[in-house]
Amino acid sequence: MLEEVVATRYVTPLREGGSLPGIVEADDLGTYVMKFTGAGQGRKTLVAEVICGELGRRLGLRVPRLVTMQLDPVIGLGEPDQEVQELLKASGGLNLGMDYLPGSIGFDPLAYEVDPAEAGRVVWFDALINNVDRSWRNPNMLVWHGDLWLIDHGATMIWHHNWPGSQASAAKPYNASDHVLAPFRPDIAAAAAELAPLVTEALLTEVAADVPAEWLVDEPGFETTDALRRAYVDALLARAATIHERISLDAPAEDRLSQAPGWLTDHLVPWPHPTKKHKDGDK
In a domain, 265, yes or no: no
CA dist 48 and 129 (Å) reads: 9
Q: Are residues 52 and 139 in the same domain?
A: no
In a domain, 174, yes or no: yes
In a domain, 264, yes or no: no
Q: Taking the chain, what is the end-to-end CA distance rounded to the nearest angstrom?
A: 42
In a domain, 76, yes or no: yes
Instruction: Answer whether residue 269 shows pLDDT above 60.
Output: no
What pLDDT is stored for residue 270 in this prediction?
A: 33
In a domain, 211, yes or no: yes
Q: Are residues 128 and 89 in the same domain?
A: no
Q: Are residues 251 and 123 in the same domain?
A: yes
* Higher-confidence position of 266 and 125: 125
- Name the residue range of residue 250's domain: 107-145+155-256
In a domain, 9, yes or no: yes
Q: Are residues 179 and 246 in the same domain?
A: yes
Q: Are residues 23 and 137 in the same domain?
A: no
Report pLDDT digits (tens) over 177-193.
999 999 999 999 999 99
Q: Could you give phi then psi for residue 253, rounded to 5 degrees?
A: -60, 150
Instruction: Write the CA distances from 2 to 53, 85, 96, 158, 281, integer angstroms.
Output: 12, 27, 10, 23, 34
Q: What percent of the chain has pLDDT over 90?
A: 76
Q: Are residues 166 and 246 in the same domain?
A: yes
In a domain, 270, yes or no: no
Q: Hey, which bits of 36-101 come out as E strands?
A: 66-71, 93-99
Which of 105, 129, 163 is the last residue before a domain boundary?
A: 105
Instruction: Answer whether residue 50 shows pLDDT above 80.
Output: yes
What pLDDT is stored for residue 283 in this prediction?
A: 34
Q: What is the dihedral of CA 192, 193, 196, 202, to 10 degrees?
A: -160
Q: Are residues 119 and 48 in the same domain?
A: no
Cβ proximity of 4 and 69 under 8 Å = yes
Lowest-pLDDT range, 17-31, 63-77, 94-108? 17-31
CA dist 267 and 77 (Å) reads: 53
Q: Are residues 245 and 159 in the same domain?
A: yes
Q: Are residues 162 and 74 in the same domain?
A: no
Report pLDDT digits (tens) over 4-23.
999 999 999 997 756 789 99
Q: Are residues 252 and 112 in the same domain?
A: yes
pLDDT band at 251 (very low <50, low <70, confident <90, very high): low
Mean residue pLDDT across the chain: 88
Mean pLDDT of the 74-83 span: 87
H or E element that contains 67: strand 66-71
Q: What percent of the chain has pLDDT over 70?
A: 88
Residue (of 175, 188, 204, 181) closest to 52 by Cα position: 204
Question: At a CB cut-off of 8 Å and minimum separation 6, what does 214 contact?
Answer: 93, 94
Instruction: Answer whether residue 136 shows pLDDT above 70.
Output: yes
Which of 42, 77, 105 is the last residue before a domain boundary?
A: 105
Please tell me the pTM assigned to this model.
0.88
Q: Are residues 190 and 74 in the same domain?
A: no
Q: Are residues 133 and 185 in the same domain?
A: yes
Orientation of helix 188-195 relative to helix 116-129, angle to 10°:
60
Cβ proximity of 225 and 213 under 8 Å = yes
In a domain, 201, yes or no: yes
Instruction: Answer whether residue 100 shows pLDDT above 90.
Output: yes
DSSP-derived secondary structure letter, 81: -
Total structural domains in the chain? 2
Cβ proximity of 22 and 33 under 8 Å = yes
